[in-house]
Amino acid sequence: MALFDQITRSPRNRLLAALPPEDLARLWPRLERIELPARHILYTADEPITAVHFPETGWVSMLATLESGDAAEVGLIGREGVVGLPLLFGMDWAPHEAMTQARCTLLQLDVAAFREELEARSALWTHLLRYAMAFSVQVSQTAACNGRHHIEDRLARWLLMAHDRSEGAAFPMTHEFLSMMLGVRRAGISVAAGILQKAGLIDYAHGRMEITDRPGLEAASCECYGAVRRTCDRLLEQPGSVKAPCWR
């Protein structure tokens, strides 16, 4: 019982950690912890969503796919959020694909249990609404960033977001995958990564990315990273709690 109490009081997912103890204790037995490899598809566009997922480690990319087959990332979800937001708005399908970006640990909740929480207007419902707003800000800021800022600025922003959600300074990543995430040609990623590496901000080799100078990378990023993070912190901060960043 003591172990159960300890676990339910301190889940790694921020939305669940913000729940009152009695709400989390009620919800906890219905959550299933699963581990998934990188590039695992949680759901595809226009297909039914069968479960929601609260990441504890790793992160999930929301991908928009064009008729040509090309895909680009439109949003990124880590332990600050939940995968399956369309259900919050009464939809049972999503317009985008959800794919794990790294090896992930997630708490899975089936759709029926999730809808019960929504219908009860529990504390989770309130936190989900605030997170939905934070995620909307991330998506809109990403669109503005991709349309106006240089590739190296955008790459720095994305690497900071990935670093926030990773377990350490290094994580697997390839130029091919980064080109899909940022919606640019692979050659452009190679040039941008070379600029950041020459500046001593990252170390990239053999499909492995390491952040070697976090403050320097923040300085090299455009204002979009800081704008999204400040908004997320403001929306997800709990009254009376110690202020902490969304992801770490």
Residue 92 has φ and ψ, to the nearest 5°, of -115, 15
Instruction: Dump pLDDT digits (tens) for 69-100.
Output: 888 899 999 999 999 999 999 999 999 999 99
User: What is the structure's pLDDT at 246?
Assistant: 53
- Tell me the CA distances in angstroms from 57 to 12, 87, 159, 245, one per residue in order: 8, 22, 16, 16
User: What is the structure's pLDDT at 95?
Assistant: 94
Q: Is the overall model pTM greater than 0.85, yes or no?
A: yes
Given a contact cutoff of 8 angstroms between Cβ atoms, the answer to whether 62 and 74 are in contact is yes
Q: Which residues contact 149 (CB under 8 A, 6 or more apart)?
A: 157, 222, 224
- Nearest alpha carbon to residue 148 among 76, 73, 223: 223
Residue 57 has φ and ψ, to the nearest 5°, of -135, 160
Task: State the Cα–Cα distance between residues 196 and 173, nearest whole angstrom.
Answer: 15
User: Please, what are the domains in the chain?
Assistant: 2-145 (2.60.120.10), 150-221 (1.10.10.10)
- Tell me the CA distances in angstroms from 192 to 149, 153, 164, 176, 182, one per residue in order: 12, 8, 20, 13, 12
User: What is the structure's pLDDT at 2?
Assistant: 42
Task: State the Cα–Cα distance between residues 155 and 162, nearest whole angstrom.
Answer: 10
Walking along the chain (248 residues) 10 residues at a time, the average pLDDT comes out as 47 94 94 96 96 97 91 93 97 96 95 95 94 96 93 96 91 89 91 96 93 97 96 77 46
